[in-house]
């Protein structure tokens, strides 16, 4: 039981740190989109809002049960579709870097099952 409590506490701390990192990177993505043409800028910034909402309303509650939500992935996929249009433009590499970092932070935040089948955060 002590192992589970220590592991859960450590996982919660990692999830909290990763969630802050994910929020910072999402903010950076929105700011970087200012360098994109107007049509793509609006789409990226809207996708950021549509990504953040289900993280807060669906994924965080699901994490309490050791799960995640597929809904934020819909919007992160939409980011990448917009990025393809920007390939070759100066803003492209900055957006890709921010998107990759956001994905890394989300992955760190999401719960992973422990070997014995007990979920961790």
Q: pLDDT digit string (tens) for 41-65?
A: 999 999 999 999 998 899 888 888 8
Q: Give pTM, 2 decimals.
A: 0.74
Backbone angle region of 88, left / alpha / beta, with phi > 0 → left and psi within -120 to 50 → alpha: left
Going by pLDDT thresholds of 50, 70 and 90, the confidence category of residue 28 is: very high
Residues in a beta bridge with 119: 113
Model confidence pLDDT, tens digit, residues 74-88: 888 998 999 999 999
- Domains, the chain: 2-120 (1.20.1270)
């Amino acid at each position: 039981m002590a192992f589970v409590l220590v592991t859960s506490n450590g996982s919660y701390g990692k999830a909290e740190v990763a969630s802050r990192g994910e929020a910072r990177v999402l903010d950076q993505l929105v700011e970087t989109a200012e360098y994109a043409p107007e049509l793509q800028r609006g789409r990226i910034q809207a996708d950021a809002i549509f990504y953040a909402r289900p993280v807060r309303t669906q994924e965080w509650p699901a994490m309490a049960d050791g799960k995640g939500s597929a809904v934020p992935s819909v919007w992160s996929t939409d980011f990448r579709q917009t990025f393809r249009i920007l390939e070759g433009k100066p803003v492209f590499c900055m957006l890709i870097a921010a998107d990759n970092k956001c994905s890394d932070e989300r992955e760190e935040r999401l719960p992973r099952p422990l070997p014995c089948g007990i979920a961790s955060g």
